[in-house]
Chains A and B, each alone.
Chain A
Amino acid sequence: MSTANHLLAAALVLACSSASAARTDITIGMQLEPPNLDPTGAAAAAIDEVVYANIFEGLTRFLPDGSVAPALASSWEVSEDGLQYSFTLRTGVSFHDGTGFDADDVVFSLDRARAEDSTNAQKGLFAGIDSVEATDPATVVVTLSQANGALPFNLAWGDAVIVAPESIEQAKTAPVGTGPFVFSKWVQGDQVEIVRNPDYWGEPAQLEKATFKFISEPTAAFAALMAGDVDAFPVYPAPENLPQLDADPRFSVVLGSTEGETILSINNKLAPFDNKLVRQAVAHAIDRSAIIDGAMFGYGTPIGSHFAPHHPAYLDLTGNSPYDPERARALLAEAGLADGFETTLKLPPPSYARRGGEIIAAQLREVGIKVEISNLEWAQWLEQVFRGKDYGLTIVSHTEPMDIGIYANPEYYFQYDNAELQQLMVDLEATAEDDARSEILQQAQTIISEDYVNGYLFQLAKTGVANAKISGLWENAPTQANDLTKVFWQD
């Protein structure tokens, strides 16, 4: 073999090895851009979809299956009476700006979140906390005013992440956390870029760089995927394209579940909906499968109560409200409304509401309920429906995990007031043991289902599309996040 041949062979080997080395960057498409990057000061899901588990971490965290695992706290102990949680913190952890992480940061973060002038969108998570104390640099003791078995769960939310007093001022535009990725840049209106944290305390991420690109238009999202501008769209906005993408070997379509119970909310105080017979009639007038097919292109799991089907304590209660227009008409007649009645249906912008609304309006018309549809923007919806309670019916997906507790609040926008359920929720807070909690949760599901508080439609599906070579993206969405810690490209 001549020297030239040797060189050629060496060059070939080099070319092959560089060609087969897996990519270490990824571009993730998202429909909405986060308004800012501080998860402790606004409700927008898009914030968590960028920063959760990537930039910021809490004492505990959600795993892809929805269970709660240790994060910045390596372990915790609960006192006999359930009032004191003692968290042991990881040592050797530092924030991205080089400042150390210790118990003082935890006290700062939790006190800030529950303070009088706090702007935390989920302040309720911290409501039962009486005091937070650092007993030594690696130990934090949280004292509760009453036992709350859900504390580790509450602290896993994005709104409860640990921030540092040194860097909180810049969190909205250049967040500093403890996570496996470091914020790099934000081109507003276009993209956020994060890079691997070389000093991460845990197992380092496999990706070196990740870019979140914001594409609001469903057609543009499709084009961006097809042209290779984005590698994955974890919550793909146009379900109508999914069959086409699924058939394309370049992509894999992943269907998972979310925490989004999509319901036809009913104003329980507004006549005639204050009559249970009328609410039951509405429930029987609804054909869930027609709505799932028509509004969601078949993606979605029917539900019969306000609870996520993938949760261990779930009870399938769809049998309480099968599609039965005859029965619905009979129930209306029994309620003295044989000629039907008129009401309003106010719809927020998501397509599940706008498309679903048209179908539901037609179904209700079949049994004699005439609805007047009005389409609202989110800001208007919050003002009129959510705060003003000026509505008859509305459709919305409740995306917070484990939010059945909203039924215990008579001031909540569906204005449901039931002492029995309120007591159950008090009991739930005081219960730490899993089986007992499941028991209570099942009773609560049954009560609201049999009271026909709302029309229960379907659990929102998570329809993700990704390059077929990407592994490690979350299949389900136990919280709204794009955790990239375990994501990698296959060779």
Chain B
Amino acid sequence: MLRYAVRRLLSLSLTLLVASLVIFVAIEIVPGDPAAYMLGMNAAPDTVAALRAELGLDVGPVQRYLNWLGGMLSGDFGTSYTYRTPVVDMIGDRLMISLPLALYALTLSTLIAFPAGIIAATRRGSAADVSVMGVTQLGVAIPNFWFAMLLVLVFAINLRWFSAGGFPGWDQGLLAGIKALTLPAIALALPQASILARVMRSSLLDTLDEDFIRTARAKGLSTRQTLWRHALRNALIPVLTIIGLQFSFLLAGAIIIENVFFLPGLGRLVFQSISQRDLIVVESVVMLLVFAVVVVTFLVDLAYAAVDPRLRRTN
């Protein structure tokens, strides 16, 4: 298990290094100057030059890449061109919303998907199975931003139970924060839960058809015991893969939902920074996301190994 983990860790570091280079090159070749953007149409050329010098944009790209990489290794992600605040603080602030939102949505979707998937698989062909399949079909098909707007219309505009959006800040209390994230989390969780429930169902059905299940039943275990001790554990691998992918997606892919609910999350930060050519922020956030995806994949790999002993044996 340890050798397995070390090997995965090494390939992870290499992935990150390659990713940093790709991100930097890709973003540097995008046309548009952050200083010119900030100063607008009436700025004199020497004013733009003065601002470029102030922002540290007058050194070469190789030097800037090394500065950026070195800074990141020591925990310094630089200073935003537009906001003039440390990128670390900005990302930290946004993560305080995006991370809880992603976890909230993932918890909701798991809580819905597991029971739904298990019920559908164990009572194959029953009314319960048919309705789970029908509802999840709908859940996959409905665009989440449309569902989000529907939620706003019903719960914010008509019933006035929730605000139409915005985030009051965690200093207003845990409850206020959770309340503000509830509609967005539901909007994000619906399609995720639908996909997860369907994967759970089909994976469990496949497992239930396996020989070892028949053996387990033959040696006298009840249906319930077979399900919990043998089938579920083996059916989890594809489900874990999907959960891992969904979490990475939720972290920054919530941008449309963030826009509908005007939440200051990570996705909106990237979007804003790209249009303002706040390159250092874009680079750092994208790097962070790559890091998050790589780490989540690593954790999912470890979880596979925990679930499936065959993966631990290395040769």
Interface residues of A (CB under 8 A from B): 33, 35-36, 42-44, 116-124, 172-173, 187-191, 213-217, 219-220, 223-224, 226-229, 349, 377-380, 382-384, 386-387, 398, 400, 403
Contact = CB atoms under 8 A, between A and B. Distances in A.
Nearest to A45: B40
Contact of B163 (A121, A214, A227, A386): A227
Nearest first, the 8 A-B pairs at minimum CB distance are: A189-B264, A43-B40, A379-B32, A227-B164, A223-B164, A35-B82, A227-B156, A379-B277
B84 A379 contact: no
Given A35-B276, A226-B164, A379-B276, A217 B84 contact: no
Interface residues of B, number: 52
Contacts of B242: none
Contacts of A188: 83, 85, 90, 93, 264
A226 B149 contact: no
Contacts of B149: 219, 223
Given A124-B44, A188-B83, A189-B93, A382 B166 contact: no
Contacts of B276: 35, 379
Contact of B166 (A172, A190, A217): A190
B30 to A, nearest CB: 8
Interface string B199-223: 0000000000000000000000000
Contact of B269 (A42, A189, A226): A189
A267 to B, nearest CB: 16
Interface stretch (B46-54, B101-109, B286-294): B46-54
Interface in B210-269: 259-265, 268-269
B83 A228 contact: no
B292 to A, nearest CB: 19
A44 B40 contact: yes
Q: In terms of DSSP, what is the predominant structure of the interface of chain A?
A: loop
A382 B32 contact: yes
A384 B31 contact: yes
A382 B36 contact: yes
Contacts of B275: 349, 377-379
B124 interface: no
Contact of A187 (B43, B50, B264): B264
B142 interface: no
Nearest to A400: B42
13 contacts: A33-B272, A44-B38, A119-B39, A188-B83, A189-B264, A213-B262, A219-B260, A223-B157, A224-B262, A227-B160, A379-B34, A379-B37, A379-B277
Contacts of A223: 149, 152-153, 156-157, 164-165
A123 B164 contact: no
B312 interface: no
Contacts of A216: 259, 262, 268
A282 B169 CA distance: 52
A119 B51 contact: yes
Contacts of A120: 47
Given A191-B166, A384-B31, A228 B160 contact: yes
A380 B31 contact: yes
Contacts of A172: 83-84
Contacts of A36: 82-84
A227 B33 CA distance: 39
A480 B264 CA distance: 24
Nearest to A119: B51
B43 A123 contact: yes
